[in-house]
Protein backbone atom coordinates (compact mmCIF):
# COMPACT_ATOMS: atom_id res chain seq x y z
CA UNK A 1 0.00 0.00 0.00
CA UNK A 2 1.40 3.38 -1.01
CA UNK A 3 0.45 6.89 0.10
CA UNK A 4 -0.73 9.45 -2.40
CA UNK A 5 1.87 11.96 -3.54
CA UNK A 6 1.73 15.39 -1.96
CA UNK A 7 3.74 18.57 -2.04
CA UNK A 8 5.09 19.06 1.49
CA UNK A 9 3.13 21.46 3.68
CA UNK A 10 4.80 21.15 7.04
CA UNK A 11 3.17 21.34 10.43
CA UNK A 12 3.98 24.09 12.95
CA UNK A 13 7.23 24.00 14.87
CA UNK A 14 5.30 23.76 18.15
CA UNK A 15 4.03 20.31 17.18
CA UNK A 16 5.74 17.37 18.93
CA UNK A 17 8.40 15.22 17.33
CA UNK A 18 7.45 11.86 15.86
CA UNK A 19 8.10 9.07 18.38
CA UNK A 20 10.30 6.01 17.83
CA UNK A 21 8.45 3.05 16.32
CA UNK A 22 7.44 0.03 18.40
CA UNK A 23 7.17 -2.58 15.66
CA UNK A 24 6.95 -3.03 11.93
CA UNK A 25 3.45 -1.59 11.60
CA UNK A 26 4.14 1.65 13.44
CA UNK A 27 7.57 1.88 11.82
CA UNK A 28 6.15 1.94 8.29
CA UNK A 29 3.55 4.57 9.22
CA UNK A 30 6.06 6.78 11.03
CA UNK A 31 8.45 6.59 8.08
CA UNK A 32 5.69 7.81 5.77
CA UNK A 33 4.81 10.66 8.13
CA UNK A 34 8.49 11.57 8.34
CA UNK A 35 8.81 11.63 4.56
CA UNK A 36 11.30 8.76 4.63
CA UNK A 37 9.06 6.01 3.23
CA UNK A 38 6.09 5.32 1.01
CA UNK A 39 5.08 1.73 1.78
CA UNK A 40 2.33 1.11 4.32
CA UNK A 41 1.31 -2.23 5.85
CA UNK A 42 -1.43 -4.21 4.13
CA UNK A 43 -4.76 -4.33 5.93
CA UNK A 44 -4.41 -8.07 6.48
CA UNK A 45 -1.21 -7.58 8.48
CA UNK A 46 -2.80 -4.86 10.56
CA UNK A 47 -5.79 -7.04 11.37
CA UNK A 48 -3.50 -9.76 12.77
CA UNK A 49 -1.93 -7.38 15.29
CA UNK A 50 -2.42 -7.49 19.05
CA UNK A 51 -5.29 -5.01 19.67
CA UNK A 52 -3.74 -3.84 22.93
CA UNK A 53 -0.10 -4.09 21.91
CA UNK A 54 2.44 -1.29 21.58
CA UNK A 55 2.73 -1.56 17.80
CA UNK A 56 -0.98 -1.15 16.99
CA UNK A 57 -1.67 1.39 19.72
CA UNK A 58 1.21 3.62 18.64
CA UNK A 59 0.11 3.30 15.00
CA UNK A 60 -3.36 4.49 15.99
CA UNK A 61 -2.04 7.25 18.21
CA UNK A 62 0.19 8.86 15.59
CA UNK A 63 -2.56 8.69 12.94
CA UNK A 64 -5.10 10.19 15.31
CA UNK A 65 -2.64 12.92 16.28
CA UNK A 66 -2.80 14.20 12.70
CA UNK A 67 -6.30 15.45 13.62
CA UNK A 68 -4.98 17.34 16.66
CA UNK A 69 -1.63 19.16 16.40
CA UNK A 70 0.21 16.84 14.05
CA UNK A 71 3.98 16.36 14.21
CA UNK A 72 6.90 18.63 13.50
CA UNK A 73 8.03 18.30 9.91
CA UNK A 74 5.03 16.22 8.85
CA UNK A 75 3.01 17.25 5.81
CA UNK A 76 -0.30 18.51 7.17
CA UNK A 77 -2.20 17.16 4.16
CA UNK A 78 -1.45 13.62 5.29
CA UNK A 79 -4.32 14.06 7.75
CA UNK A 80 -6.69 13.02 4.94
CA UNK A 81 -4.40 10.77 2.90
CA UNK A 82 -6.59 7.89 1.63
CA UNK A 83 -3.93 5.22 2.13
CA UNK A 84 -3.25 6.28 5.73
CA UNK A 85 -6.98 6.38 6.42
CA UNK A 86 -7.23 2.82 5.10
CA UNK A 87 -4.53 1.63 7.50
CA UNK A 88 -6.23 3.49 10.33
CA UNK A 89 -9.59 1.89 9.52
CA UNK A 90 -8.07 -1.59 9.64
CA UNK A 91 -6.44 -0.84 12.99
CA UNK A 92 -9.68 0.62 14.34
CA UNK A 93 -11.53 -2.56 13.40
CA UNK A 94 -9.05 -4.60 15.44
CA UNK A 95 -9.30 -2.27 18.43
CA UNK A 96 -13.08 -1.89 18.37
CA UNK A 97 -13.68 -5.62 17.95
CA UNK A 98 -11.54 -6.27 21.03
CA UNK A 99 -13.38 -3.62 23.04
CA UNK A 100 -16.77 -5.06 22.16
CA UNK A 101 -15.54 -8.52 23.11
CA UNK A 102 -13.69 -7.69 26.33
CA UNK A 103 -15.26 -4.65 27.95
CA UNK A 104 -18.31 -6.09 29.70
CA UNK A 105 -21.71 -7.67 29.32
CA UNK A 106 -23.02 -4.86 27.14
CA UNK A 107 -26.76 -4.47 26.73
CA UNK A 108 -28.98 -1.40 26.69
CA UNK A 109 -29.46 -0.68 30.41
CA UNK A 110 -27.75 2.71 30.62
CA UNK A 111 -29.09 3.41 34.12
CA UNK A 112 -27.50 0.23 35.50
CA UNK A 113 -24.19 1.03 33.79
CA UNK A 114 -24.16 4.52 35.31
CA UNK A 115 -25.22 3.29 38.74
CA UNK A 116 -22.25 0.92 38.73
CA UNK A 117 -19.95 3.93 38.29
CA UNK A 118 -21.42 5.56 41.39
CA UNK A 119 -20.40 2.68 43.67
CA UNK A 120 -17.11 3.67 45.29
CA UNK A 121 -14.97 0.83 46.70
CA UNK A 122 -14.71 0.79 50.49
CA UNK A 123 -11.13 1.84 50.95
CA UNK A 124 -8.50 0.54 48.57
CA UNK A 125 -9.52 -2.68 46.85
CA UNK A 126 -5.97 -3.14 45.59
CA UNK A 127 -6.80 -2.04 42.05
CA UNK A 128 -7.20 1.72 42.40
CA UNK A 129 -4.35 3.98 41.34
CA UNK A 130 -5.76 7.02 43.14
CA UNK A 131 -6.18 5.09 46.40
CA UNK A 132 -2.61 3.81 46.12
CA UNK A 133 -1.20 7.27 45.44
CA UNK A 134 -3.21 8.84 48.26
CA UNK A 135 -2.17 6.22 50.80
CA UNK A 136 1.43 5.41 49.94
CA UNK A 137 2.37 6.93 46.59
CA UNK A 138 5.82 8.44 46.32
CA UNK A 139 6.67 11.61 44.46
CA UNK A 140 8.36 9.70 41.62
CA UNK A 141 5.14 7.72 41.10
CA UNK A 142 3.05 10.90 41.00
CA UNK A 143 5.46 12.33 38.43
CA UNK A 144 5.14 9.20 36.27
CA UNK A 145 1.37 9.31 36.56
CA UNK A 146 1.30 12.96 35.48
CA UNK A 147 3.64 12.27 32.56
CA UNK A 148 1.49 9.53 31.07
CA UNK A 149 -1.79 11.31 31.76
CA UNK A 150 -0.39 14.35 29.93
CA UNK A 151 -1.15 12.59 26.64
CA UNK A 152 -4.80 13.41 27.29
CA UNK A 153 -4.82 16.25 29.79
CA UNK A 154 -2.74 18.56 27.57
CA UNK A 155 -5.61 18.32 25.09
CA UNK A 156 -8.31 17.83 27.70
CA UNK A 157 -11.86 17.92 26.30
CA UNK A 158 -10.66 18.32 22.70
CA UNK A 159 -11.83 14.86 21.52
CA UNK A 160 -15.22 15.35 23.15
CA UNK A 161 -15.93 18.44 21.07
CA UNK A 162 -16.33 16.25 17.99
CA UNK A 163 -19.67 15.04 19.34
CA UNK A 164 -21.21 18.53 19.60
CA UNK A 165 -22.36 18.87 15.95
CA UNK A 166 -23.81 15.36 16.22
CA UNK A 167 -26.14 16.25 19.08
CA UNK A 168 -29.15 18.52 19.20
CA UNK A 169 -31.43 20.23 21.67
CA UNK A 170 -30.99 19.48 25.35
CA UNK A 171 -28.03 17.13 24.86
CA UNK A 172 -26.11 19.66 22.77
CA UNK A 173 -26.79 22.58 25.12
CA UNK A 174 -25.69 20.59 28.16
CA UNK A 175 -22.59 19.22 26.45
CA UNK A 176 -21.48 22.71 25.43
CA UNK A 177 -22.10 23.99 28.97
CA UNK A 178 -19.77 21.36 30.41
CA UNK A 179 -17.15 21.95 27.73
CA UNK A 180 -17.26 25.70 28.43
CA UNK A 181 -15.99 24.96 31.92
CA UNK A 182 -13.31 22.59 30.59
CA UNK A 183 -11.99 25.38 28.39
CA UNK A 184 -11.69 27.85 31.24
CA UNK A 185 -15.06 29.63 30.92
CA UNK A 186 -13.46 32.19 28.64
CA UNK A 187 -10.20 32.58 30.59
CA UNK A 188 -7.11 31.16 28.86
CA UNK A 189 -5.22 30.69 32.13
CA UNK A 190 -8.05 28.51 33.47
CA UNK A 191 -8.25 26.11 30.52
CA UNK A 192 -7.88 22.69 32.08
CA UNK A 193 -5.09 21.75 29.69
CA UNK A 194 -3.19 24.82 30.91
CA UNK A 195 -3.84 23.90 34.53
CA UNK A 196 -2.34 20.49 33.83
CA UNK A 197 0.70 22.04 32.16
CA UNK A 198 1.12 24.13 35.34
CA UNK A 199 0.87 20.93 37.39
CA UNK A 200 3.61 19.32 35.31
CA UNK A 201 5.92 22.31 35.65
CA UNK A 202 5.32 22.25 39.41
CA UNK A 203 6.43 18.60 39.45
CA UNK A 204 9.54 19.32 37.41
CA UNK A 205 8.19 17.68 34.25
CA UNK A 206 8.43 18.87 30.68
CA UNK A 207 4.95 20.40 30.15
CA UNK A 208 5.17 20.73 26.39
CA UNK A 209 2.49 19.01 24.35
CA UNK A 210 3.25 15.41 23.37
CA UNK A 211 6.71 15.28 24.96
CA UNK A 212 5.98 12.08 26.91
CA UNK A 213 4.53 10.02 24.07
CA UNK A 214 7.69 7.96 23.56
CA UNK A 215 7.76 6.76 27.16
CA UNK A 216 4.03 6.04 27.63
CA UNK A 217 3.08 2.34 27.67
CA UNK A 218 0.46 0.91 25.33
CA UNK A 219 -2.07 0.81 28.17
CA UNK A 220 -1.90 4.61 28.43
CA UNK A 221 -2.05 5.12 24.66
CA UNK A 222 -5.20 3.00 24.49
CA UNK A 223 -7.11 5.23 26.93
CA UNK A 224 -6.50 8.25 24.68
CA UNK A 225 -7.06 6.34 21.44
CA UNK A 226 -10.48 5.34 22.76
CA UNK A 227 -11.61 8.97 22.82
CA UNK A 228 -10.28 9.65 19.35
CA UNK A 229 -11.90 6.51 17.96
CA UNK A 230 -15.30 7.39 19.38
CA UNK A 231 -14.97 11.09 18.60
CA UNK A 232 -13.95 10.81 14.96
CA UNK A 233 -16.83 8.52 13.97
CA UNK A 234 -20.36 9.85 13.90
CA UNK A 235 -21.69 6.29 14.17
CA UNK A 236 -20.00 6.03 17.59
CA UNK A 237 -21.45 9.26 19.01
CA UNK A 238 -23.36 7.32 21.65
CA UNK A 239 -20.16 5.59 22.76
CA UNK A 240 -18.37 8.94 23.09
CA UNK A 241 -21.20 10.24 25.28
CA UNK A 242 -20.91 7.07 27.38
CA UNK A 243 -17.18 7.58 27.70
CA UNK A 244 -17.68 11.22 28.66
CA UNK A 245 -20.18 10.21 31.32
CA UNK A 246 -17.80 7.63 32.77
CA UNK A 247 -15.00 10.19 33.01
CA UNK A 248 -17.12 12.91 34.58
CA UNK A 249 -18.91 10.64 37.06
CA UNK A 250 -15.73 9.02 38.38
CA UNK A 251 -13.54 12.12 38.26
CA UNK A 252 -14.57 13.94 41.43
CA UNK A 253 -13.71 11.27 44.05
CA UNK A 254 -10.56 10.25 42.19
CA UNK A 255 -9.45 13.87 41.93
CA UNK A 256 -9.99 14.35 45.65
CA UNK A 257 -7.63 11.45 46.38
CA UNK A 258 -5.03 12.69 43.90
CA UNK A 259 -5.11 16.20 45.38
CA UNK A 260 -4.52 14.67 48.80
CA UNK A 261 -1.68 12.57 47.41
CA UNK A 262 0.02 15.66 45.97
CA UNK A 263 -0.31 17.50 49.29
CA UNK A 264 1.14 14.55 51.18
CA UNK A 265 4.06 14.37 48.76
CA UNK A 266 4.79 18.08 49.16
CA UNK A 267 3.84 19.18 45.65
CA UNK A 268 3.28 22.86 45.02
CA UNK A 269 0.01 24.76 44.79
CA UNK A 270 -0.15 24.64 40.99
CA UNK A 271 0.01 20.86 41.06
CA UNK A 272 -2.75 20.64 43.65
CA UNK A 273 -4.97 23.16 41.87
CA UNK A 274 -5.64 20.95 38.86
CA UNK A 275 -7.23 18.19 40.91
CA UNK A 276 -8.89 20.58 43.37
CA UNK A 277 -10.61 22.21 40.39
CA UNK A 278 -11.90 18.83 39.20
CA UNK A 279 -13.31 17.88 42.60
CA UNK A 280 -15.81 20.74 42.45
CA UNK A 281 -16.36 21.09 38.72
CA UNK A 282 -16.88 17.41 37.96
CA UNK A 283 -19.30 16.93 40.83
CA UNK A 284 -21.55 19.42 39.03
CA UNK A 285 -20.74 18.02 35.59
CA UNK A 286 -21.79 14.54 36.70
CA UNK A 287 -25.37 15.67 37.19
CA UNK A 288 -25.49 17.64 33.95
CA UNK A 289 -24.06 14.76 31.92
CA UNK A 290 -26.38 12.19 33.43
CA UNK A 291 -29.63 14.14 33.40
CA UNK A 292 -29.20 16.29 30.31
CA UNK A 293 -26.52 14.97 27.96
CA UNK A 294 -27.35 11.26 28.21
CA UNK A 295 -31.06 11.68 28.85
CA UNK A 296 -31.33 14.20 26.03
CA UNK A 297 -29.44 11.97 23.60
CA UNK A 298 -31.54 8.90 24.37
CA UNK A 299 -34.73 10.91 24.22
CA UNK A 300 -33.82 11.78 20.63
CA UNK A 301 -32.12 8.51 19.67
CA UNK A 302 -33.08 5.67 22.03
CA UNK A 303 -31.45 3.16 19.68
CA UNK A 304 -28.04 4.46 20.83
CA UNK A 305 -28.41 3.00 24.34
CA UNK A 306 -26.16 0.03 23.58
CA UNK A 307 -23.43 2.35 22.32
CA UNK A 308 -23.64 4.48 25.47
CA UNK A 309 -23.17 1.32 27.53
CA UNK A 310 -20.23 0.34 25.32
CA UNK A 311 -18.59 3.72 25.95
CA UNK A 312 -18.99 3.34 29.71
CA UNK A 313 -17.75 -0.25 29.82
CA UNK A 314 -14.84 0.26 27.40
CA UNK A 315 -13.61 3.18 29.49
CA UNK A 316 -13.61 1.05 32.62
CA UNK A 317 -11.94 -1.85 30.84
CA UNK A 318 -9.02 0.24 29.57
CA UNK A 319 -8.63 2.11 32.85
CA UNK A 320 -8.45 -1.24 34.67
CA UNK A 321 -5.73 -2.42 32.28
CA UNK A 322 -3.76 0.77 32.87
CA UNK A 323 -4.18 0.50 36.66
CA UNK A 324 -2.91 -3.08 36.64
CA UNK A 325 0.15 -2.05 34.64
CA UNK A 326 0.97 0.89 36.91
CA UNK A 327 0.41 -0.84 40.22
CA UNK A 328 2.33 -3.97 39.23
CA UNK A 329 5.36 -1.89 38.29
CA UNK A 330 5.22 0.45 41.28
CA UNK A 331 4.78 -2.35 43.80
CA UNK A 332 7.89 -3.94 42.31
CA UNK A 333 9.72 -0.65 42.82
CA UNK A 334 10.29 -0.04 39.11
CA UNK A 335 9.17 2.53 36.59
CA UNK A 336 5.85 2.03 34.83
CA UNK A 337 7.11 4.01 31.84
CA UNK A 338 9.04 2.67 28.87
CA UNK A 339 12.03 4.71 30.01
CA UNK A 340 12.69 6.64 33.23
CA UNK A 341 11.87 10.33 33.28
CA UNK A 342 14.80 12.60 32.55
CA UNK A 343 15.51 15.90 34.34
CA UNK A 344 13.77 18.88 32.78
CA UNK A 345 15.13 22.41 32.75
CA UNK A 346 12.70 25.09 31.52
Contact 62, 224 (CB under 8 A): no
Domains of the chain plus CATH, in order, are: 24-102 (no CATH), 110-331 (1.20.910.10)
| Distance of alpha carbon 237 from alpha carbon 316, whole angstroms | 18
Contact 339, 214 (CB under 8 A): yes
Q: What is the pTM of this model?
A: 0.94
The tens place of each residue's pLDDT in the chain, 346 residues long, gives 666 544 556 555 589 999 999 999 999 999 999 999 889 999 999 999 999 999 999 999 999 999 999 999 999 999 999 999 999 999 999 999 999 999 999 999 999 999 998 876 555 567 899 999 999 999 999 999 999 999 999 999 999 999 999 999 999 999 999 999 999 999 999 999 999 999 999 999 999 999 999 999 999 999 999 999 999 999 999 999 999 999 998 888 999 999 999 999 999 898 889 999 888 776 778 889 999 999 999 999 999 999 999 999 999 999 999 999 999 999 999 999 999 998 887 7
| Burial (CB count within 10 angstroms: exposed 0-12, middle 13-18, buried 19+), residue 45 | middle
Say whether 10 sits in a helix, a strand or coil. Answer: strand
| Distance of alpha carbon 174 from alpha carbon 192, whole angstroms | 18
Q: Helix H segments across 70-157? A: 82-102, 110-117, 129-136, 139-153
Amino acid sequence: MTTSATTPHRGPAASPELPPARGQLSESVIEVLDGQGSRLPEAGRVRRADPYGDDLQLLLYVLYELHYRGFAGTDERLEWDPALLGVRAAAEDVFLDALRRDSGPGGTDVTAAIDALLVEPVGDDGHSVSHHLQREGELWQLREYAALRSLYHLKEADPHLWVVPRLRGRAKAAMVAVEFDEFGAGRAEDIHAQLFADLMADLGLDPRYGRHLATAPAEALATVNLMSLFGLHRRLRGALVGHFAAVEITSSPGSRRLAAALRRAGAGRAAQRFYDEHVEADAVHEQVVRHDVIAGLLEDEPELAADVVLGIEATGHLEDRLAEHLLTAWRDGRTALRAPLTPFTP
